[in-house]
């Protein structure tokens, strides 16, 4: 989840472009459902956000409705294969990020309208036919389209608006974000050293030694017999490093590696060992001509195009006095939290503090949405991690208030995993919270344990097992909770095929609650596992 947000937030991804890439199935579902709403007249009160010019709302083409945001959200979850989202902490954060992308999209489309940029009919028809071809090549999709739309022609009409928007955005991008060869060359000359470090790569084999004398002896042998034969004769393990980059070893050795192939380089001191490298091949970007043929060229081109595009859109908004209004208190609050930094966060803190707290009773107001309370908790976390605010006088009070607000969120939504995890961090001695946290964590990672993929969640598993063990020995939890913990430990060890440890927890469970389950059958199963293991 965090990976997706870090990738998406702060970058212009424009949801319509995602929809185009993500595929026709998403379009089919969303376009069919939401196109039925277009015949209804809506007002600004129905929007979640809209563009303004000189402070006045633009035409409805530049409004964003709740169903637009839901469509964008659905597409993003599908495209990034996100299957689980916390409804209080993560969902409003993601939707706010996507809402900003939708606002950016509307701004681009308004730029296109002002500058009369639009795709030709032939371009639109070609893009539609390309999508239709994909449908007709897939029998399941074709049946779906015929069922939902009554045929291909109706389907074409349904996806045409999305395709026009996508093509329009591409045309605007090509117009305002063009980077020519001379600009790329200038960038290369100004950043040559950094680009060489980033994009020079080599395919090398290497062997390592604990002392320099052994490394020198190997080099002498390799110069006579060859690298591989010398390694074989000395019983050395040859390792391959297919993506060796600069910045790992001293420059004097790097320069040799990136100068010619079939070269021995070493002994190279690194840590407490000495390495000898054989250069199989290398790619260098030490001239502009070489750089222009590398993948780095396209990456830099995309970066410069993105920078120019954003700069041009900011210029357009300033010159035309284009703004936006987020017409939702929840998303506006999250937007304030996510888009501010440094001392500006303190202004957001003061605003939310007044919104959330009843200062007559020093409690959280009853009518505050949980999503806003969650935003306050995230805000204080953000303030706490900002180096420029570490010694601020407000911080200590803010952290105390965040705990109060977090307890309120947890009370409202005890099933929020993020809330219970934060409660676990804030109140480490509370066994009721510990129990809820580890029970929820177990439900999340149990499939990985069950299907032998524990290496994918090793840190969580270690934390889980330690937590359950602590709870199994606790005297301040209920009998039902202890029974559940003991059963989980029995079940975990059974899945790990550790019948001996599983039996021990099963005995403890039987002692605590004799009527909990059919213990005879469970013990028989474990005994069978032990016998099977000893036989094998």
- pTM of the prediction? 0.79
Summarize pLDDT for 280-334 with one digit per residue, the tens. 999 999 999 999 999 999 999 999 999 999 999 999 999 999 999 999 999 999 9
Rounded distance between C-alpha atoms, residue 277 and residue 399, angstroms? 53
What's the whole-number average pLDDT of the chain?
89
Peptide bond into 98 cis (omega under 30): no
* Token digits of residue 42: 């809506």
Is 272 a residue whose pLDDT tops 50? yes
Q: How confident is the model at residue 498 (pLDDT cuts 50, 70, 90)?
A: very high
Residue 80, CA distances (Å) to 19, 76, 102, 103 in order: 12, 6, 17, 21
Rounded Cα–Cα distance for residues 344 and 100 (Å)? 19
Quickly state the pLDDT bin for 7 (edges 50, 70, 90): very low
Residue 371 C-beta-side C-alpha neighbours within 13 Å: 17
Please answer whether residues 341 and 358 qualify as being in contact, where contact means their C-beta atoms are separated by less than 8 angstroms: no
- Rounded distance, CA 131 to CA 156, Å? 9
Examine the pLDDT at 8 and tell me if it is beyond 60.
no
Minimum mean pLDDT range among 185-189, 264-268, 361-365, 392-396: 392-396
Residues 338-358 have pLDDT tens digits of 999 999 999 999 999 999 999
- Banded pLDDT at 32 (limits 50, 70, 90): very low
Phi, psi angle pair for 240, to nearest 5°: -110, 140
pLDDT at 536: 55
**pLDDT of 262 over the 90 cut:** no
The DSSP annotation for 481-495 comes to: HHHHHHHHHHHHHHH
CATH 3.10.50 residue ranges in the chain? 201-283
Q: How many residues make up the chain in this entry?
A: 536
CA-to-CA separations, 323 to 51, 54, 61, 305, 328, in angstroms, rounded: 6, 8, 15, 23, 16
Counting beta carbons within 10 angstroms of the beta carbon of residue 476, is it exposed (0 to 12), middle (13 to 18) or buried (19 or more)? exposed
pLDDT reported for residue 145: 87
CA nearest neighbour of 161 among 25, 342, 31: 31
User: CA 113, CA 115: separation in Å to the nearest integer?
Assistant: 5
d(CA 289, CA 293): 7
Is residue 28 scored above 50 in pLDDT? no
Is the Cβ–Cβ distance between 259 and 204 less than 8 Å?
no
Q: What mean pLDDT comes out for the span 88-112?
A: 95
Query: Is pLDDT at 484 greater than 70 in this prediction?
Result: yes
CA atoms within 13 A on the CB side of 6: 3
Contacts (Cβ under 8 Å, ≥6 apart) of 68: 34, 48, 102
Class of the CATH-defined domain 428-534: mainly alpha
Distances (CA, A) of 434 to 11, 210, 442, 505, 508: 37, 47, 12, 19, 20
Q: Check residue 179 and give its pLDDT.
A: 93
Model confidence band, residue 13 (pLDDT cutoffs 50, 70, 90): very low
Integer CA distances (angstroms), 311 to 56, 99, 322, in order: 23, 20, 14
Residues of the chain by 3-state class (helix, strand, coil), percent to 5: 65, 10, 25
For residue 531, what pLDDT is reported?
85
How many Cβ atoms are within 10 Å of 406's Cβ, its own excluded? Answer: 21
Q: What is the spatial distance between Cα 355 and Cα 37, in angstroms, rounded to a whole number?
A: 35
Q: Tell me the per-residue pLDDT of 37-96, one tens digit each, with 9 for 90 and over.
A: 556 789 999 999 999 999 999 999 999 999 999 988 988 888 888 888 999 999 999 999
Q: Per residue in 376-387, pLDDT tens? A: 999 999 999 988
Q: What's the CA gap between 307 and 501, in Å, rounded?
A: 58
Tokens of 144: 């779906």
Q: Which residue has the higher pLDDT, 34 or 116?
A: 116
Pick from 80, 73, 61: which is nearest to 100 by CA?
73
Ranking 54-68, 146-160, 416-430 by mean pLDDT, the lowest is 146-160
Beta carbons within 8 Å of 498's beta carbon, 6+ residues apart:
none
**Ranges for all domains in the chain classified under CATH 1.25.40:** 428-534
Rounded to 5 degrees, what are φ and ψ at 282?
Answer: -155, 155
CATH top-level class for 201-283? alpha beta
Q: Is the pLDDT of residue 427 over 50?
A: yes
Query: Is 90 exceeded by the pLDDT of residue 480?
Result: yes
């Amino acid at each position: 989840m965090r990976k997706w947000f870090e990738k998406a937030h702060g970058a212009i991804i424009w949801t319509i472009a995602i929809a185009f890439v993500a595929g026709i199935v998403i379009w089919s579902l969303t376009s069919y459902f939401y196109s039925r709403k277009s015949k209804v007249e809506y007002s600004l009160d129905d929007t979640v956000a809209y563009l303004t010019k000189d402070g006045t709302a633009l035409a409805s083409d530049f409004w964003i409705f709740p169903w637009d945001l839901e469509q964008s959200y659905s597409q993003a979850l599908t495209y990034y294969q996100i299957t689980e989202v916390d409804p209080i902490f993560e969902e409003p954060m993601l939707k706010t990020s996507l809402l900003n992308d939708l606002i950016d999209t509307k701004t681009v489309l308004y730029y296109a309208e002002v500058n009369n940029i639009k795709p030709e009919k032939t371009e639109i028809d070609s893009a539609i036919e390309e999508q239709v071809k994909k449908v007709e090549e897939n029998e399941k999709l074709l049946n779906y389209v015929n069922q939902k739309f009554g045929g291909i022609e109706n389907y074409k009409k349904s996806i045409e608006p999305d395709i026009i928007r996508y093509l329009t955005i591409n045309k605007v991008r090509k117009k305002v974000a063009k980077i020519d060869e001379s600009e790329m060359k200038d960038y290369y000359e100004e950043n040559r050293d950094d680009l060489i470090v980033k994009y020079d790569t080599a395919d090398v084999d290497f062997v390592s030694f604990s002392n320099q004398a052994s490394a020198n002896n190997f080099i002498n042998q390799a110069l006579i017999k060859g690298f591989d034969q010398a390694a074989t004769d000395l019983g050395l393990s040859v390792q391959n490093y297919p993506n060796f980059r600069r910045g790992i070893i001293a420059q004097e050795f790097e320069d040799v590696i990136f100068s010619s192939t079939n070269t021995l380089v070493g002994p190279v001191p690194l840590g407490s060992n000495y390495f000898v490298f054989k250069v199989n091949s290398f790619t260098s970007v030490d001239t502009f001509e070489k750089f222009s043929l590398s993948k780095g060229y396209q990456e830099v081109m995309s970066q410069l195009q993105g920078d120019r595009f954003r700069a041009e859109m900011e210029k357009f908004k300033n010159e035309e006095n284009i703004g936006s209004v987020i017409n939702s208190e929840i998303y506006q609050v999250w937007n304030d939290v996510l888009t501010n930094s440094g001392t500006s966060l303190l202004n957001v803190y003061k605003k939310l503090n007044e919104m959330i707290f009843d200062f007559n009773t020093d409690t959280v107001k009853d009518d505050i949405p949980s999503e806003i309370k969650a935003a306050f908790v995230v805000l204080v976390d953000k303030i706490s991690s900002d180096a420029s605010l570490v010694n601020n006088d407000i911080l200590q009070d803010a952290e105390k208030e965040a705990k109060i607000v977090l307890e309120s969120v947890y009370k409202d939504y005890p099933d929020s995993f993020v809330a219970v995890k934060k409660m676990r961090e804030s109140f480490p001695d509370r066994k009721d919270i510990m129990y809820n946290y580890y029970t929820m964590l177990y439900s999340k990672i149990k499939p990985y344990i069950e299907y032998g993929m524990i290496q994918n969640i090793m840190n969580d598993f270690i934390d889980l097992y330690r937590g359950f063990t602590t709870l199994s020995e606790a005297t301040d939890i209920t009998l039902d909770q202890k029974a559940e913990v003991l059963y989980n430990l029995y079940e975990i060890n059974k899945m790990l095929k550790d019948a001996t440890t599983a039996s021990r927890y099963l005995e403890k469970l039987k002692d605590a609650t004799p009527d909990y389950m059919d213990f005879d059958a469970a013990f028989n199963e474990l005994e069978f596992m032990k016998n099977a293991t000893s036989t094998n």
